[in-house]
Structure 1
């Protein structure tokens, strides 16, 4: 009896099941292989996108480092294209127009590319498009003015702290001179202090006669007439004008002045405006020689006013000498003189402090290894500031005056970092002078270089950082 047609068909399918399975496997395998291949292509595209992001980030950071206000778009693009083309993997990458924020706070860039496919090419998909966006902060500070106030009293050399300090400060200068985005925008002053502060012989016009003495002492203009012994050697500061008579142990620099506060206490019994930032045209200075019991105190090398000549600054630091006691108040106020807009034109046009504005960042970095050391013995060296308090209480009086200056500087918009360089230093008052506790540091000869590096990084801030 013949089989029904349906059963006959089923029987044939059963008999041919191996072939049918093969066809099904083939039909299923093709899209599976394409899916696996596509995932491989997408992984390659993802890796390329990551590499493109890194290359674009580097290009944007480089452009940000060279950016100056109002720079043409073409010049920014040239830097970016140079960085991208230097990376051979992205020869086909297309960079969009550099975008500078309206407030010049940020630089952004869009970059696109296409990654060729291998497996997806079977489905007629030749490439996978990739795109990234990279943004970097532009240096927000248009100009930096930094006063490095350095204690060069005798203890610095006696306790082997002097040379490490010089090395650390040289490193601080290098941190700015080697930064392409800041080197043309940064001016730094060097303000050494000990018993007094030295303005140098180029600035004798700031002096007035006082206490029966000439405005400019003969000792300064003719030092050999005073230092007659053959043990003294005459040489000059790097300004080529300010003389020093030195022996194998001591340096006698010319050019130091009495602190204004000292003169006011001697004249009036109290400090008036002596801890302020008045320029010499408003309040002339008095040569230290006018004080017969202070005129022979050790005088530090001259102040170097604001300059962007980093070679000169490094030479000034390398040429410093160490001697004398510690008048913290004199150092603080002298640092202010180099930053105060009231002194515009006083130091010379190239060293003139800029007006206070949002485009100028003014900073003082004050370093000392000691505490206030006024001289109050009437029969010995005698600081006029102690005229009313001829005892150790004079140190507290002078320290309070220093804090008055620190407070006024901070109110004027000057940021203050302070550095205590020994366990003998007056930590409390040094810290109180700083803008806040985060601006106060302690150091030793082993760590001072790192501390100055940290302060330099803090001042530079995030001038070169990615924002996206």
Structure 2
């Protein structure tokens, strides 16, 4: 039989167990708060905030979250430790949880300490922005919305007065696509041709062909018959437009060269058989740079033009990040190796329409199909792909959803505010690649 005296130690054990469980639950909540606070503080440091301000803001942040928990916890202020010459941040907090049953036996509280820390786990980040500047971007204020969103993303990735140990650790490249891509200053390096060149256009058409001429060749004596004939004409081109690459290296990052050149812009024939050089947007690519002003200038110059060759945009975003293309880009813009320690590469692919323009033979696929193959190859290298389908039709959403690294990397904004939010979230996500805790 259990006596009254034996009940006391049993209650004591049960009381301690219950209070210990409550305390462990509270400790878990505080751990989540401190982990979040460390990320908050690290972002503030990345944005250039001084240490005193970071400490004040982190403590205010933690107090606010603790109040939301509506607990009876009693916690000290957060103690922060900074490491000179780095962006490392460590946080500690000491808390006490009042007891209930244990209080009956003289134990009024249970104490615990929580610690967390952050460090820049990825030292270097390379990002390629890929902008759709096809004709539809010129309507409904979409181009202005895109410029606003892109500027804010750049501000997040390259904050003013940043105290990063090496600002060059964040480099951004930009390229825009429409009917084709303008290779700009890199035209000769990627096509093997001069800017001023001869372009030849060829097509087949049905014509009435004489079946026999007189001796002088001035009169048709044999009658006419409809036949399919090849018509060609040449024209002098003076632009830097390029098409997709054709052949075995169409969906690789192989450096341009013999047997691996990209196709130049080409020419079209009118109904009379006269050739005219194809044209494209006037903006060439901007290779990787840490110069924020160059990126802002590029965004300011964006303008709309013609159709949507999305697969070419994917390819050029890849080329800007591919170490195999180092010979094409300036010394300060050469991409890091794919396996560079403590480094990451990301691509932000944007469109507002359907991928509807391609020049390669049909056996290579249409723009949608070529984009799928390009995206598969890009992701196989470890490059993270974020996608933004801005007011896009279903086909545009489908291809961007396919290309995105995961569903969480795909955004479908329907207005300017949502577009800015999407780019901001992507930029913050990329920034967080640099923080581990």
Q: Classify the TM-score, shorter chain.
A: 0.5 to 0.7
SS in 2 for 1:259: strand
Matched, 1:173 2:154: yes
- TM-fit CA distance, 1:205: 3.5
User: What is aligned with 1:275?
Assistant: 251
Of 240, 254, 270 in structure 2, the residue corresponding to residue 255 of structure 1 is: 240
Higher strand share: 2
What are the ranges of 5 or more consecutive residues in structure 1 without an aligned counterpart? 1-49, 68-78, 88-92, 113-129, 210-214, 221-251, 262-270, 375-382
User: What is aligned with 1:44?
Assistant: none
User: What is aligned with 1:163?
Assistant: 144
Distance 1:294 1:169, change over 3 A: farther
Of 356, 363, 374 in structure 2, the residue corresponding to residue 405 of structure 1 is: 374
Q: Larger Cα Rg: Structure 1 or Structure 2?
A: 1
SS in 2 for 1:272: coil
User: What is aligned with 1:329?
Assistant: 311
> Deviations 1:43-67 (Å, cap 9, x if unpaired)?
xxxxxxx9xx99xx78994699379
SS in 2 for 1:204: helix
User: What is aligned with 1:4?
Assistant: none
Contact 2:135 2:304 survives alignment (8 Å): yes
What are the ranges of 5 or more consecutive residues in structure 2 without an aligned counterpart? 1-29, 59-76, 95-110, 200-236, 270-274
Question: In structure 2, how many angstroms separate the alpha carbons of the residues matched to 1:294 and 1:257?
Answer: 15
Question: In structure 1, how many angstroms separate the alpha carbons of the residues matched to 2:386 and 2:57?
Answer: 41
TM-score w.r.t. length of structure 1:
0.58
Contact 1:169 1:317 survives alignment (8 Å): yes
Higher helix share: 1
- TM-fit CA distance, 1:372: 1.7
- TM-fit CA distance, 1:216: 2.5
Distance 1:111 1:325, change over 3 A: closer
User: After superposition, where does 1:89-238 map in structure 2 within 5 Å?
Assistant: 107-108=89-90, 135-178=116-159, 180-181=163-164, 183-209=167-193, 215-217=194-196
- TM-fit CA distance, 1:278: 1.4
Contact 1:105 1:140 survives alignment (8 Å): no
Question: In structure 1, how many angstroms separate the alpha carbons of the residues matched to 2:55 and 2:264?
Answer: 61
User: After superposition, where does 1:434-453 map in structure 2 within 5 Å?
Assistant: 434-446=404-416, 447-453=418-424
User: What is aligned with 2:401?
Assistant: 431
- TM-fit CA distance, 1:298: 2.9
TM-score w.r.t. length of structure 2:
0.62
Contact 1:201 1:254 survives alignment (8 Å): no
Matched, 1:288 2:253: no
User: What is aligned with 2:425?
Assistant: 454
Of 380, 385, 390 in structure 2, the residue corresponding to residue 416 of structure 1 is: 385
Question: In structure 2, how many angstroms separate the alpha carbons of the residues matched to 1:342 and 1:62?
Answer: 34
Alignment length (residue pairs): 318
SS in 2 for 1:373: coil
Distance 1:63 1:135, change over 3 A: farther
> Deviations 1:319-339 (Å, cap 9, x if unpaired)?
112102100110000000000
Question: In structure 1, how many angstroms separate the alpha carbons of the residues matched to 2:305 and 2:39?
Answer: 50
Question: In structure 1, how many angstroms separate the alpha carbons of the residues matched to 2:435 and 2:146?
Answer: 28
SS in 1 for 2:277: coil
Question: In structure 1, how many angstroms separate the alpha carbons of the residues matched to 2:391 and 2:431?
Answer: 26
Question: In structure 1, how many angstroms separate the alpha carbons of the residues matched to 2:122 and 2:375?
Answer: 23
